[in-house]
Amino acid sequence: MNALKPMPKEPTPLPGAEETTPCIDTSKMSAGQRAALELTEAARETVAGRGSFAQGLFLGRFDLSELGPFPEQTSEDRDQGDAFLQRLEKFLREKVDPDEIDRAGEIPNEVMEKLAALGAFGIKIPSGYGGLGLSQTNYCRAAMLLGSYCGNLTALLSAHQSIGVPQPLLLFGTEEQKQKYLPRVARGEISAFALTEPGVGSDPATMQTHAEPTPDGDYFVLNGEKLWCTNGTQAGVIVVMAKTPPKRVGGKPRNQITAFIVEMNWRGVEVTRRCRFMGLRALYNGVIRFSNVRVPRENILLAEGKGLRVALSTLNTGRLTLPAACVGLSKRCLAISRKWAGERVQWGAPIGKHAAVADKISRMAANIFAMEAMTLLTASRVDHDKHADIRLEAAMAKLWGSERAWEIVNDTMQIRGGRGYETAASLQARGEEPVPVERFLRDSRINTIFEGSSEIMRLFIAREALDPHLKVAAGALNSQWPLAQRLKVAAKAGLFYAGWYPRQFLPRFYVSRFTFDAHPTLARHLRYASNASQRLARALFHAMVRFGPKLERQQLLLGRLVDIGTELFAITAACLRAQGEIDRGVGGVKESKTGSHSGAVNGAPIPSKENLVELADFFCRSAQLRIEESFRALRRNADRQNYRLAQEVLKNQFEWLESGIVEKNS
């Protein structure tokens, strides 16, 4: 039975929103803040329509019909994926030693060659261009497999095809560019993405790398230096973001960033250093210098001045690889923890019988279930609707998945005790099983930093959550606008909120037909999520009224709202997944030719209905506790004192706390 049927749409909650542009008051910002804001606002991907499911959560709109039932891969798609995954898995097991790669800091040539022969560099590239042409879901399954085994190979393949040349080329490339580059990168010519610079981390407005057009306009001359370019030291072709001459927008000069495809063997391109890190020791990550590199105009991606949009759009889907890899890593951690907690006996019992360890294991299992659900649900939307707006869902999956995976690896190390901290090689030398938790911990720490740090993800989600409100009401508070225009906007906004706000207090008895047909426990959690989304919408509205344009500076408050929205998405994904698997037939989940289902590769054991409900129920209860805590903290917190104290620390007023330490090079 497929319980989830489309329900009649609620009225679009913010009428007229599409016509107005966000009118953020920048008059009180510093020049740097204004430039950063204008640049990112200009690059924001705006999608027409009512917004995604996740955006609806912040508006009190809980519309399950936007997600549909939990996706089941078609048997054709699953079998295509299985065929590749089985070859990849066999190769990893038989030919790849991830601990040796970690120790040597190098990926052997034979591994690179075999990966290329398997098609692992062109998983999503259509077969017409020489790739495997697999779906986003199958690509995510490959990332799960790799993430469970070798962080270095995961980063190599992910940087290559999630952010390197293939993804932006598939999204924005001309047919000529695709014909020229896609077959090369699909065959295994490594690619990379170069945005970061010494002074440019999360904020691209301060970019120094620049490209000037030649007098005939046929070329751009590229100069500058890029930092931490993953795959950069091995790449044949990369995407480079550079400043191009400003354009006048509304009478004022506006900075332009353009994305170029650059070949690494062109004159003037030089890798000046290979960077080394705490983990991912075999990452081919480098500093790349460009000195008067002539880039043909036809190598511009999308258009001059659209580089940031290329980068942001690339990351919207590209970002899904990371939570998928986190799922694989977390599953491996669960397997390690389960085994060790069952066999290690201390104080007269297996350590898993002690509640403090048991708590870690149950949280791990529940979080993995939700993490995989969020990732597969979002990946499937990419597969089924090219135009689906998945920006928030992907960002939530990245934010939540990378933070939970870090907790899971950390907990796994705690459960393994001293053995968790010991290297695999040392364990083996003592005659014990070489369990690589120490490597996993080092390799996974970066996940909350790159491809959008957690802090930036929260700001990004908050910006998108606020967008419908900004479109309706921000103009009224914009001191840069004429009074008459502000009053007009205020009147329109007043009218809108007079209808919208009271609706957020109406108790909801009906959520969706889904909740009638769903397992009662799951239906209860979905009703909670629906009601909590109304509370979230009210809380966001109250924060807007209280802080006005200063709300963007309330990062802790916005962070709590984002965390609530993200947990609500996680609850929804977990419940849909559990119900989806129940609907497909408990104890008889459809099997593909290879015996696998729902993202698993090797004939995973079939879960029972009780298992599914128990896992989802525990996850939802835990998420509800976190949500309620965040709601409480919206009302009662020490945010102001917190900020004041930090500023005093930064002004060296507490330097005395740092006495009695040794600092080198200070």
- Given a contact cutoff of 8 angstroms between Cβ atoms, the answer to whether 251 and 195 are in contact is no
Q: How far is the CB of 525 from ligand FAD (least distance, A)?
A: 32
> Which range of residues in 1-9, 176-184, 191-199, 243-251 is near ligand FAD by CB under 6 A?
191-199
Query: H or E stretch including 241?
Result: strand 237-249
> Which range of residues in 125-133, 333-341, 380-388, 453-461 is near ligand FAD by CB under 6 A?
453-461
CA distance 211 to 231: 22
x/- map, 483-522, ligand FAD, by CB under 6 A: ----------------------------------------
CA distance 495 to 6: 30
Largest CA distance in the chain: 81
Subset of residues 125 to 164 that bind ligand FAD, contact rule: CB under 6 A: 159
Per-position b or e across 482-506, b if 16+ CB within 10 A of its CB: eeeebeebeebbeebbeebeeebee
Q: How far is the CB of 168 from ligand FAD (least distance, A)?
A: 13
Please confirm, yes or no, whether 197 is among the known catalytic residues.
no
Q: Does 228 bind ligand FAD (CB under 6 A)?
A: yes
Q: Where do runs of H (alpha helix) occur along 417-453?
A: 418-421, 424-429, 437-444
Closest to 158 measured CA to CA, from 174, 170, 144: 144
Q: Does 557 bind ligand FAD (CB under 6 A)?
A: no
Subset of residues 459 to 478 that bind ligand FAD, contact rule: CB under 6 A: 459
Using the minimum distance from each CB to ligand FAD, give the nearer residue, 207 or 511.
Answer: 207
Using the minimum distance from each CB to ligand FAD, give the nearer residue, 126 or 201.
Answer: 201
- Given a contact cutoff of 8 angstroms between Cβ atoms, the answer to whether 52 and 106 are in contact is no
Residue number of the CB closest to ligand FAD reads 201
Q: Is 633 exposed, middle or buried (0-12, 13-18, 19+ CB in 10 A)?
A: middle
CA distance 345 to 343: 6
Using the minimum distance from each CB to ligand FAD, give the nearer residue, 132 or 156.
Answer: 156
- Please report how many Cα atoms fall inside a 13 Å half-sphere around the Cα of residue 241, on the Cβ side: 30
Return the DSSP state at 319. T
x/- map, 411-450, ligand FAD, by CB under 6 A: -----------------------------------x--xx
Return all residues near 329 (Cβ < 8 A) that are at least 6 apart.
147, 148, 151, 405, 408, 409, 440, 444
- Given a contact cutoff of 8 angstroms between Cβ atoms, the answer to whether 422 and 403 are in contact is no
Helix axis angle, 321-343 relative to 355-384, nearest 10°? 150
Using the minimum distance from each CB to ligand FAD, give the nearer residue, 164 or 420.
Answer: 164
Q: How far is the CB of 287 from ligand FAD (least distance, A)?
A: 11
Q: Provide the token pair at 656.
A: 């005395």
CB atoms within 10 A of CB 656: 7
CA distance 217 to 214: 5
Subset of residues 296 to 335 that bind ligand FAD, contact rule: CB under 6 A: none
> Which range of residues in 51-59, 117-125, 228-236, 558-566 is near ligand FAD by CB under 6 A?
228-236
> Which range of residues in 248-256, 369-377, 455-463, 641-649 is near ligand FAD by CB under 6 A?
455-463
Using the minimum distance from each CB to ligand FAD, give the nearer residue, 319 or 519.
Answer: 319
Using the minimum distance from each CB to ligand FAD, give the nearer residue, 287 or 578.
Answer: 287
**155 phi and psi angles, rounded to 5 deg:** -65, -40
Q: Does 105 bind ligand FAD (CB under 6 A)?
A: no
Number of residues that bind ligand FAD (CB under 6 A): 23
> Which range of residues in 224-232, 424-432, 498-506, 560-568 is near ligand FAD by CB under 6 A?
224-232
Q: Classify the C-alpha dihedral 553-554-558-559 as positive or negative.
A: positive
Find the radius of gyration of the CA atoms of the chain: 25
Q: Does 578 bind ligand FAD (CB under 6 A)?
A: no
**259 phi and psi angles, rounded to 5 deg:** -100, 130
CA distance 494 to 488: 10
Subset of residues 268 to 297 that bind ligand FAD, contact rule: CB under 6 A: 277, 280, 283, 285
> Which range of residues in 108-116, 180-188, 451-459, 598-606 is near ligand FAD by CB under 6 A?
451-459
The active-site residue, picked from 38, 66, 72, 451, is: 451
Q: Does 455 bind ligand FAD (CB under 6 A)?
A: yes
Q: How far is the CB of 49 from ligand FAD (least distance, A)?
A: 29
- Given a contact cutoff of 8 angstroms between Cβ atoms, the answer to whether 599 and 376 are in contact is yes
The bridge status of strand 237-249 relative to strand 191-194 is parallel
Subset of residues 18 to 57 that bind ligand FAD, contact rule: CB under 6 A: none
CA distance 326 to 308: 26
Q: How far is the CB of 32 from ligand FAD (least distance, A)?
A: 11
CA distance 313 to 168: 8
> Which range of residues in 39-47, 187-195, 469-477, 590-598 is near ligand FAD by CB under 6 A?
187-195
Using the minimum distance from each CB to ligand FAD, give the nearer residue, 200 or 537.
Answer: 200
Using the minimum distance from each CB to ligand FAD, give the nearer residue, 225 or 614.
Answer: 225
Q: Which of 183, 201, 236, 268 binds ligand FAD (CB under 6 A)?
A: 201
Q: Does 230 bind ligand FAD (CB under 6 A)?
A: yes
Q: Provide the token pair at 114.
A: 């075999």
Q: Which of 55, 148, 152, 196 binds ligand FAD (CB under 6 A)?
A: 196
> Which range of residues in 55-63, 192-200, 324-332, 420-428 is near ligand FAD by CB under 6 A?
192-200
CA distance 440 to 410: 9
Using the minimum distance from each CB to ligand FAD, give the nearer residue, 193 or 528.
Answer: 193
Q: How far is the CB of 332 from ligand FAD (least distance, A)?
A: 21
Catalytic residues: 451
Q: Footprint of ligand FAD on this chain (CB under 6 A)?
A: 159, 192-196, 201-202, 228-230, 277, 280, 283, 285, 446, 449-450, 453, 455-456, 459, 555
